[in-house]
Structure 1
Amino acid sequence: MKTRTRTAISSFALAAGLFGLATAVSAADLPVYTKAPAIEAWNPWMIRLRALGVVTRDSGWVDQVPGSGLKTSDAIIPELDISYFFTRNIAAELILGVTRHEVTGTGVPATAGLDVGRAWLLPPTLTLQYHFTDLGAFKPYIGAGVNYTVFFNQSAGNTFNNAGVIVTNSHLQNTWAPAAQIGFDYMINKHVGLNVDIKKIWLRPNWDGTLGGGVPVTGKVNLDPWLIGTGLTYKF
């Protein structure tokens, strides 16, 4: 009886071992599935807030006064831009801001020191950019586009210069201009970064005005500003 019991136990143990081995082999043959990592949705929008230096070219003239010249004051303003990425490399950027400038006469005595006037500028600029994305956190870009400048709140100098000349009416005409751009973002994390941006705009509006005594004059103001900005980037 004991012999039969031992035999039965040995047979059961052998069967259990063979079953466990078969189960392990079967489990090894089954494919192992792992959960794929979640892919974050790509957002094409980016904004930047910059401090912008507007450095103008001191050039221009009054048509009726040979040897005359005009110069324009510089300015520092806050500036907002909005970018939309069509792909990870190609984007369009629109910059928004307003700036105020004064125009002063130079050259011959009739225009030297002449307070021509002042104006506010609304210069929206749209550029198409190419972004280099294979340099890690450093993301340089180049761009080119078009500017349209609107002059508003214009006023004449109404002040005599040393030659006794006074401007009683001053008007800069709205105009289109080409623009070029270079800059970079340095991303601190996936959303926030630092930005440096330089634009050149070939802005040369026509000017017309009236001197004391009702004498009409015309001319051109070659603003041709450099827009040099630095600030913060936020990528959505």
Structure 2
Amino acid sequence: MINDFYQSLCFKLKLFLDVILTNKKMKKIVFALVATSLLMTTVTQAQEEIKNNDFKRWQVRLRGIAVVPNESANIGIIGGDVAISNAFVPELDFTYFFTKNFAAELILGTAKHDVNTVGSDISAIGGPTSFDVDLGSVMLLPPTLTAQYHFFPLKEKKFKPYVGAGINYTLFYNVKEGDVVKDVEYDNAIGFAAQIGFDVMFDDTFFVNFDVKRLFLKTDVSVNATNLAEGLIIPAQVEINPWIIGLGFGMKF
């Protein structure tokens, strides 16, 4: 019985197709319906693709940042610790969105810091057993690249938090050794970075931003104090590990 049913169904379908294919008017109608269906499917897929990519991929921010070192040091020969001053400077950063959620950020900024030892023993050269040695100042240029995940990508959301992690390469330059020692050298260094922050949108283009980063940064330092004692070179390993706290405005494009 089932075979009879399928044979009857196939026969009817064959008759239906024969009628359509031998009737020019019906053939045009069928082709028109098929073409319309394919076109609507293509348009729907294109609209979905546009919807998925309907966002501005670039944004730029101008922030004021506080660079707050969380310093410590292992100082040879004279011992003691290190103190590094805070700095307040402008900073520029660029962000590119690969998707609505995933992005990469590059920050550019430079800061000047005053440096001195704390509680060093310089009795071997006729000084006190606890003395703060002025090591002058140094400029830091720490370009930092982070991969970010942005929450709430919908345009309707004004508050857009994000988290990120990446890598930092710090250049030490324009070293001023001060009036006590002859010279100070800092090794450029690579470190890791972590961040958290949020944007508050004014509209689809402009926004205000708050951002906190932590750089895990360590450098080797060599202090040339041969002006104080013959052959006196003081090595040190310094962990700077600064917090970078920023507030500013941004624009998407």
Task: Please tell me the TM-score bracket, short chain as reference.
Answer: 0.7 to 0.9
Equivalent in the alignment of 1:169: 183
Q: Give the whole-Å Cα distance in 2 for the aligned partners of 1:112 and 1:189.
A: 55
1:140-151 matches, cutoff 5 A:
140-151=161-172
Q: Give the whole-Å Cα distance in 2 for the aligned partners of 1:41 and 1:195.
A: 22
- Cα 1:109–1:215, aligned 2, differ >3 Å: closer, same or farther? closer
Unaligned runs of at least 5 residues, structure 1:
1-36, 160-166
Q: Give the C-alpha shift of residue 108 in structure 1.
A: 3.5
In 1, are the aligned partners of 2:112 and 2:137 still within 8 Å (CA)? Answer: yes
Q: Give the C-alpha shift of residue 113 in structure 1.
A: 1.9
Equivalent in the alignment of 2:244: 227
In 1, are the aligned partners of 2:120 and 2:133 still within 8 Å (CA)? Answer: no
Q: Give the whole-Å Cα distance in 2 for the aligned partners of 1:222 and 1:71.
A: 11
In 2, are the aligned partners of 1:72 and 1:104 still within 8 Å (CA)? Answer: yes
Unaligned runs of at least 5 residues, structure 2:
1-46, 123-129
1:126 lines up with 2:126 in the alignment: no
1:197 lines up with 2:211 in the alignment: yes
Q: Give the C-alpha shift of residue 170 in structure 1.
A: 0.3
Q: Give the whole-Å Cα distance in 2 for the aligned partners of 1:134 and 1:154.
A: 44
Q: Give the C-alpha shift of residue 175 in structure 1.
A: 0.2
Q: Give the C-alpha shift of residue 41 in structure 1.
A: 5.7
Q: TM-score, normalised by structure 2?
A: 0.72
Q: Give the C-alpha shift of residue 119 in structure 1.
A: 0.8
**What letter matches 1:196 in structure 2?**
F
Q: TM-score, normalised by structure 1?
A: 0.77
Q: Give the whole-Å Cα distance in 2 for the aligned partners of 1:172 and 1:118.
A: 11
Equivalent in the alignment of 2:23: none
**Which sits farther off after the overlay, 69-78 or 103-112?**
103-112
Q: Give the C-alpha shift of residue 123 in structure 1.
A: 0.4
- Cα 1:150–1:134, aligned 2, differ >3 Å: closer, same or farther? closer
**What letter matches 2:247 in structure 1?**
T
- More strand per residue: 1 or 2? 1
1:72 lines up with 2:84 in the alignment: yes
In 1, are the aligned partners of 2:100 and 2:153 still within 8 Å (CA)? Answer: no
Give the aligned length.
193
In 1, are the aligned partners of 2:212 and 2:245 still within 8 Å (CA)? Answer: yes
- Superposed CA deviations along residues 153-206 of structure 1, whole A, max 9, x for unmatched, are 1121223xxxxxxx2110111000100000000001000001000000011111
Q: Give the whole-Å Cα distance in 2 for the aligned partners of 1:231 and 1:205.
A: 30
- Superposed CA deviations along residues 50-91 of structure 1, whole A, max 9, x for unmatched, are 00000011311321224x111101000000000000001000
In 1, are the aligned partners of 2:204 and 2:252 still within 8 Å (CA)? Answer: yes
Identity value in percent: 41
In 2, are the aligned partners of 1:130 and 1:141 still within 8 Å (CA)? Answer: yes
- Superposed CA deviations along residues 108-150 of structure 1, whole A, max 9, x for unmatched, are 4436221012111110000000000257110000000000000
- Superposed CA deviations along residues 25-55 of structure 1, whole A, max 9, x for unmatched, are xxxxxxxxxxxx9989633100011000000
- More helix per residue: 1 or 2? 2
Larger Rg computed on CA atoms: 1
**What letter matches 2:86 in structure 1?**
D
